[in-house]
């Protein structure tokens, strides 16, 4: 089918076809677990449930064909900066997380190529001046952040966190 829909979950504000691949760039130093990683996992799972094919990428010195463990049962691929920018220009992409202090040089060309960036909390406002100066689309997952970022001159849109609850195992209480 050639029916197209606008995908709000991927934050791209571009037209996508079901099963389109969406590149999710995760720009953090070293191996990270916790909030930034779980956000990308929830985003990945939300896109899958909507019928898209999300792929997680990190940027390294050179492209590696070998997928690596992202955690939570997902894999990622390492791309060179040049290959990452080419990918961002050729398909829907999103900078799902960028630790600006260490990855501004990786994030800026992706943003110039049209990939929006997700801002999760005020600790990530370091990218705001670049985004405002270059007309980069910013996705805020909290309404207050969207308001603050718009006040800083950013093209900011609020889209809720794609949190997907999981069922916790039932633990039987025992008295000893």
pLDDT digits (tens, 9 = 90+) for 101-155: 888 999 999 999 999 999 888 888 889 999 999 999 999 988 999 999 999 999 9
- Residues pairing with 61 in the sheet: none
Q: Which of 32-36, 156-160, 169-173 holds the top average pLDDT?
A: 156-160
Q: How far, in Å, CA of 176 to CA of 159, rounded?
A: 48
Say if CB 52 and CB 16 are below 8 A apart.
yes
Give the residue among 163, 164, 124 at the shortest CA–CA distance from 140. Answer: 124
């Amino acid at each position: 089918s050639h029916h197209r829909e606008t995908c709000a979950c991927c934050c791209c504000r571009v037209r996508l076809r079901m099963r389109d691949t969406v590149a999710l760039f995760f720009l953090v130093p070293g191996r990270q677990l916790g909030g930034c990683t779980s956000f990308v996992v929830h985003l990945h799972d939300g896109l899958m449930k909507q019928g898209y094919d999300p792929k997680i990428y990190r940027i390294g010195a050179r492209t590696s064909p070998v997928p690596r463990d992202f955690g939570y049962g997902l894999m990622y691929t390492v791309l060179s900066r040049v290959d990452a920018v080419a990918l961002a220009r050729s398909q829907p992409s999103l900078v799902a997380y960028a630790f600006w202090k260490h990855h501004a040089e990786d994030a800026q060309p992706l943003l110039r190529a049209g990939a929006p960036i997700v801002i999760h909390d005020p600790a990530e406002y370091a990218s705001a001046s670049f985004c405002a100066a270059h007309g980069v689309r910013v996705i805020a997952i909290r309404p207050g952040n969207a308001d603050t970022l718009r006040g800083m001159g950013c093209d900011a849109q609020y889209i809720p966190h794609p949190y997907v609850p999981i069922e916790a195992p039932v633990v039987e209480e025992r008295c000893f």
